[in-house]
């Protein structure tokens, strides 16, 4: 990857660009510098490095793939005697007899968007002016300045003067080629599986993940893939603040129309569909009251399609402030590189509650990416209040499918209860049942406006109360434990201890449901179960 980046740098140098910005992550810095200096030495060009941290200038030399730094005393003497400005390096490079490539590391914060702090603003303007003067003054000299950092954000006044190169995440072919060198005993199939596990990480991260996996003992290829995948999940959480999940085994109760749509999307991923120029929807929007199963539906889609799932709280980007656009750019680059993946934007509407410039800029970035991307990324977003979303986000061609995820009907509540009861009571596993039809009708009537999340809580509370009635403080051997039998009375008691949101906030929930009904298509068919409203005596 660094070799390709270096080719781009020297391609710009050949076009007589004297100022070049390079965005590269910190973990790839040593590898990039080695490749850059190696190519400079091949072309008989000196290479220098200045870092903000110590204000020292070093000449870079590579010997046997090892990077060496040699202090330039000429700069140290001048900088020590003339401390008019911390960025004395810019004056020095303008007038020094030294030539070649000067790498400036850590200067980008002064080149981004304007600041309201007067001292910072003046320093920023001085640096920009000095860089432009360098470009003009050294136009006919063999002096090049490379601005290097993990975030190469440039303000609009200087951006046209500084071409920017961004180090992209390595493709699976590059990762496979690298793994073949570090894992020479692995077969082609094992290398490919490890490359898939490493997709979305830089080579330095993959190398660290492998060394961490084999630090204690040798691993089988399957064990290495498992550990590398676990390391990637932890890394994504730290860097991008997202959850990365492999396709889960997620049973879902109800929402049959939506699940049928998911099965259609799976067929659209086939090569046959591509032959007919058919594609996935650009986006799917799930709207409805809280707790109705929108997040659960995204996991069910991941299971149906067999694709990994990235869960992102869209509103969290607002907390990044000026870094929000940079964070979003990196995240979209990540999902583009992984390609066959589901990107789930949880609580999408909350990111636009403020209706400020930041929200609009983030929405613009997302819209542009959704319109122009070629990767096979399925975007699913959930919203409680669709009226908070900008109108341009909900028009056709942006989110092609909009589903109303409503309060579960009688038949769906029966399915949801059965799924959760099976977690604790063996009688409900493998399609089993322990209640009579009349008992079910009584329970479903009592939970008429409960959503799936509330049903889960009711079952868990009933399981806890049943457990507490069965056992005291004495601990029995596991082999002697009797089964946990959850009775209808325990579920009804748990229901009485809860005030469902759809009753507690009836006006708000009904408003959400009405708006969702106008905007989206139903995600559930008409209830045709034996427990449907027409078959339930609501006065019984």
305-328 pLDDT per residue, tens: 889 999 998 877 777 877 888 889
Q: What is the average pLDDT value for the chain, to the nearest integer? A: 88
| pTM for this predicted structure | 0.84
Does residue 189 surpass a pLDDT of 80? yes
86-115 burial by CB neighbour count: b if 16+ within 10 A, else e? Answer: ebbbbbbbeebebebbbbbbebbebbbeee
Question: How many CB atoms lie under 10 A from the CB of residue 414?
Answer: 24
Does residue 538 surpass a pLDDT of 50? no
Q: What percent of the chain has pLDDT over 70?
A: 96
DSSP string, 428-450: GGGG---S-HHHHHHHHHHTTT-
Whether the Cβ atoms of residue 302 and residue 213 lie closer than 8 Å to each other: no
The per-residue pLDDT for 539 is 43
User: Cα 247 to chain center, whole Å?
Assistant: 15
For residue 181, what is the enclosing H or E element?
helix 172-182
User: Rounded distance, CA 415 to CA 259, Å?
Assistant: 15
The per-residue pLDDT for 234 is 94
Whether the Cβ atoms of residue 487 and residue 466 lie closer than 8 Å to each other: yes
The per-residue pLDDT for 485 is 94
Does residue 368 surpass a pLDDT of 60? yes
């Amino acid at each position: 990857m660094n070799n390709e980046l270096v080719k781009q740098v020297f391609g710009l140098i050949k076009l007589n660009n004297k100022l070049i910005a390079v965005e590269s992550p910190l973990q790839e810095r040593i590898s990039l510098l080695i490749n850059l200096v190696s190519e400079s030495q091949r072309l008989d060009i000196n290479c220098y490095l200045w870092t903000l941290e110590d204000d020292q200038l070093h000449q870079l030399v590579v010997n046997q793939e090892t990077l060496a730094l040699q202090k330039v005393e000429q700069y140290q003497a001048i900088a020590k005697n003339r401390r008019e400005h911390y960025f004395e390096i810019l004056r020095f490079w303008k007038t020094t007899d030294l030539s070649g490539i000067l790498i400036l590391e850590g200067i980008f914060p002064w080149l981004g968007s304007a600041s309201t702090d007067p001292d910072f603003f003046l320093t920023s303007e001085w640096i920009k002016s000095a860089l432009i003067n360098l470009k003009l003054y050294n136009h006919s000299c063999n002096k090049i300045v490379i601005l290097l950092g993990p975030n190469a954000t440039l303000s609009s006044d200087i951006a046209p003067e500084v071409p920017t190169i961004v180090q992209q995440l390595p493709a699976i072919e590059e990762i496979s080629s690298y793994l073949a060198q570090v894992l020479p005993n692995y077969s082609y199939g094992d290398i490919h599986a490890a490359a898939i596990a490493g997709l979305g990480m830089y080579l330095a991260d993959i190398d660290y993940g492998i060394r961490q996996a084999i630090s204690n003992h040798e691993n089988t290829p399957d064990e290495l893939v498992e550990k590398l995948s676990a390391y990637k999940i932890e890394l994504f959480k730290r860097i991008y603040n997202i959850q990365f999940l492999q396709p889960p085994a997620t049973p879902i109760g109800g929402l049959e129309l939506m699940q049928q749509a998911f099965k259609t999307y799976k067929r659209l991923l086939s090569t046959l569909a591509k032959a007919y120029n058919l594609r996935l929807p650009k986006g799917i929007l799930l709207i409805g009251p809280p707790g109705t199963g929108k997040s659960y539906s995204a996991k069910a889609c991941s299971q149906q399609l067999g694709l990994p799932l990235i869960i992102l709280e869209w509103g969290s980007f607002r907390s990044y402030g000026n870094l929000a656009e940079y964070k979003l750019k990196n995240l979209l680059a990540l999902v583009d590189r992984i390609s066959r993946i589901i990107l789930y934007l949880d609580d999408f509407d909350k990111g636009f509650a403020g209706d400020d410039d930041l929200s609009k800029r983030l929405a613009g970035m997302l819209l542009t990416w959704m319109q122009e991307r070629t990767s096979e990324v399925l975007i699913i977003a959930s919203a409680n209040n669709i009226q908070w979303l900008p109108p341009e986000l909900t028009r056709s061609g942006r989110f092609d499918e909009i589903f109303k995820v409503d309060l579960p009907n009688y038949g769906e509540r029966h399915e949801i209860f059965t799924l959760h009861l099976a977690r604790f009571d063996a009688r409900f596993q493998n399609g089993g049942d322990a209640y009579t039809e009349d008992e079910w009708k009584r329970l479903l009537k009592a939970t008429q406006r409960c959503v799936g999340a509330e049903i889960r809580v009711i079952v868990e509370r009933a399981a806890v109360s049943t457990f507490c009635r069965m056992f005291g403080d004495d601990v029995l051997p596991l082999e002697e434990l009797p089964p946990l039998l959850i009775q209808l009375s325990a579920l009804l008691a748990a229901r009485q201890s809860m005030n469902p949101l759809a009753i507690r906030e009836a006006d708000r929930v009904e408003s959400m449901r009405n708006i969702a009904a106008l905007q989206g298509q139903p995600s559930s068919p008409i209830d045709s179960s034996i427990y449907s409203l027409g078959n339930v005596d609501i006065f019984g």
